[in-house]
């Protein structure tokens, strides 16, 4: 081992060591799971990788991980945040790890583990929810979303698309109920086993119990106001005046905290309303739509109401928590988001869209590039041919048919994910 040390005191790998680890033959590959989708997905994927001759192990950092994986072929980490980078780097060395698998690479545990893995010349495989949803998941090398290695030049997509092969599509089953069940089970186990992991801190802005209570309140409120909300949405869509749709995202979403110019939805709302008031046509309307999985902790309706009153456009700005998203998108003359995949759905529907953060689809020819102030009067619509090319390349290079939660979805993802990861050179 090289005598040269990093600032944190860990020895740096020698050039020959890093090169050797990055060239490990397929039969000597060692995959380390650090974060994974909730439920049995990681166990199923590890089983498939082992069939191909690889070793697999997982780092357990909380009770949810423990119940999802167990203690076989695992290492339990009970330390604090300040010790994590040193510990995981040492673990990689001890296991002679060649590959790291993470889900949600923006969270601290996953992000720091990926940094250490790259320093050691390891492959980093990142899972995330699909760029195109539902029934698809994302698997990329090194990063997803704004750290994706996908091209940023539209011409690359146009040239590459004819050479892409699309996998056949198979429905992954009823995703939402299965996903909610996995989510609840994981966090219940995390809570019950919390005495075993006293130094673990969940990577959320609000505590799990706070979110749980707020989700219940929101669910009850939506059920009680379902008819009223449906009628309100109907009136909004029946109004012949131009409608712009602004998409809110979940507070604390990793795409906001790491990939955006706004870390708070309040700031996004204020920025959009101020621009709308100053530059939108006098007859235009603006509707903010709540994220379907918002926990309801932050008062988004109040944010919208206060911003509209301050800008003098209360009669033309509204907020809805509900409504059929595809129908609302088709009725809009333009869609504004930070970097939500909802913006990509708007493009697929042929609507002009603008992102105010960083997103893989924020390309010339797909999204409006002339700034928000111009969007209200001259929104740039998507190029249909470029969208076809973009979709073909993204689907072939980063998407796998299936889902992390349903039995059918896992069965679809696992063999293809294992094949791609074993082929990494």
DSSP H/E element including 347: helix 341-348
Nearest of 86, 21, 33, 101 to residue 61 by alpha carbon? 33
What torsion, rounded to 10 degrees, do the Cα atoms 214, 219, 222, 223 define? -150
pLDDT in tens, 101-158: 999 877 888 999 999 999 999 999 999 999 998 999 999 999 998 889 999 999 999 9
CA separation, residue 196 to residues 40, 58, 86, 87 (Å): 21, 17, 21, 18
CA separation, residue 336 to residues 2, 244, 315, 368, 399 (Å): 51, 8, 19, 10, 25
**Which domain, by its residues, includes 366?**
239-392
Mode of pairing for the β-strands spanning 99-103 and 243-247:
unpaired
**Is 356 a domain residue?**
yes
8 Å CB contact between 259 and 106: yes
- Model pLDDT, residue 259: 65
Provide the 8-state DSSP code for 145.
G
Residue 188 above 50 pLDDT? yes
DSSP H/E element including 231: helix 226-238
DSSP H/E element including 211: helix 208-224
- Model pLDDT, residue 208: 76
Helix (H, G, I), strand (E, B) or coil at 53: coil
Task: Give the mean pLDDT of the chain.
Answer: 90
**Is 119 a domain residue?**
no
Residue 164 above 90 pLDDT? yes
Provide the 8-state DSSP code for 195.
G
Mean pLDDT value across residues 31-40? 96
Biggest CA-to-CA distance, the chain: 72
More confident residue, 365 or 201: 365
**CA–CA distance, 199 with 113 (Å, rounded to integer):** 18
**Is 264 a domain residue?**
yes
Provide the 8-state DSSP code for 125.
E
CATH at residue 279 = 3.40.50.2000
- Model pLDDT, residue 315: 96
Bridge-partner residues for 286, per DSSP? 244, 317
**Is 72 a domain residue?**
no
**Is 320 a domain residue?**
yes
Vertex 126: Cα angle to 88 and 289 (nearest 5):
120
Q: What is the pTM (predicted TM-score) of this model?
A: 0.87
Q: Is the dihedral of CA 172, 178, 182, 184 positive or negative?
A: positive
**CA–CA distance, 261 with 387 (Å, rounded to integer):** 25
Nearest of 235, 253, 241 to residue 286 by alpha carbon? 241
- Model pLDDT, residue 398: 96
Minimum mean pLDDT range among 86-90, 163-167, 324-328, 396-400: 163-167
Residue 307: CA count within 13 A, CB half-sphere: 27
Band of residue 8 on the pLDDT scale cut at 50, 70, 90: very low
Residue 360 above 50 pLDDT? yes
- Model pLDDT, residue 100: 98
- Model pLDDT, residue 384: 97
pLDDT in tens, 277-303: 999 999 999 999 999 888 888 999 999
The DSSP code sequence of 21-59 is HHT--GGG-EEEESS--SSTHHHHHHHHHHHTT-EEEEE
**Is 47 a domain residue?**
no
**Is 292 a domain residue?**
yes
Residue 359 above 90 pLDDT? yes
- Model pLDDT, residue 13: 46
- Model pLDDT, residue 254: 67
**Is 106 a domain residue?**
no
Provide the 8-state DSSP code for 333.
S
pLDDT in tens, 9-31: 334 444 444 444 444 444 489 99
Record the tokens describing residue 351, joined without a space. 């609507």
Q: Domain tally for the chain?
A: 1
| Residue 30 backbone dihedrals phi, psi, to 5 degrees | -125, 115
Mean pLDDT value across residues 237-256? 88
């Amino acid at each position: 081992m090289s005598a040269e040390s990093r600032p944190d005191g860990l020895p740096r790998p020698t050039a020959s060591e890093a090169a050797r680890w990055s060239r490990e033959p397929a039969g000597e590959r060692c995959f380390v799971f650090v974060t994974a989708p909730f439920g049995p997905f990681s166990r199923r994927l590890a089983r498939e990788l082992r069939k191909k001759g690889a070793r697999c192990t997982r780092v357990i950092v909380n009770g949810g991980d423990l119940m999802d994986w167990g203690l076989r072929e695992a290492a339990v980490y009970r330390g604090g945040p300040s010790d994590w980078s040193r510990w995981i780097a040492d673990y990689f060395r001890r296991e002679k790890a060649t590959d790291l698998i993470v889900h949600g690479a923006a969270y601290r545990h996953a992000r720091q583990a990926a940094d250490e893995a790259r320093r050691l010349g390891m492959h980093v495989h990142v899972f995330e929810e699909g760029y195109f949803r539902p029934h698809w998941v994302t698997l990329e090398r090194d990063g997803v979303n704004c750290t994706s290695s996908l091209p940023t030049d539209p011409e690359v997509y146009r040239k590459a698309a004819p050479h892409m092969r699309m996998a056949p599509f198979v429905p992954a089953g009823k995703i939402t109920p299965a996903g909610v069940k996995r989510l609840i089970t994981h966090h219940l186990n995390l809570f019950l086993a919390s005495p075993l992991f006293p130094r673990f801190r969940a990577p959320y802005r609000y505590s799990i119990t706070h979110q749980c209570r707020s989700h219940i309140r929101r669910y009850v409120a939506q059920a009680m106001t379902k008819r009223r909300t449906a009628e309100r949405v109907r009136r909004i869509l029946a109004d012949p005046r131009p409608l712009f749709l602004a998409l809110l995202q979940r507070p604390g979403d990793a795409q906001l905290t790491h990939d955006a110019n706004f870390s708070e939805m309040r700031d996004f709302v204020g920025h959009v309303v101020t621009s709308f008031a100053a530059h939108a046509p006098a007859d235009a309307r603006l509707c903010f739509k709540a994220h379907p999985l918002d926990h309801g902790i932050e008062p988004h309706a109040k944010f919208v109401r206060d911003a509209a009153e301050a800008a003098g456009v209360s009669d033309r700005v509204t907020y809805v928590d509900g409504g059929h998203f595809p129908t609302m998108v088709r009725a809009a003359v333009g869609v504004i988001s930070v970097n939500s995949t909802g913006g990509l759905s708007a493009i697929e529907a042929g609507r002009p869209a603008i992102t105010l953060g960083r997103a893989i689809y924020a390309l010339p020819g797909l999204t409006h590039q002339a700034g928000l102030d111009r969007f209200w009067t001259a929104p740039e619509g998507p190029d249909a041919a470029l969208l076809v090319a973009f979709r073909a390349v993204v689907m072939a290079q980063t998407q796998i048919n299936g889902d992390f939660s349903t039995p059918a979805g896992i069965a679809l993802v696992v063999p293809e994910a294992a094949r791609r990861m074993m082929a990494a050179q």
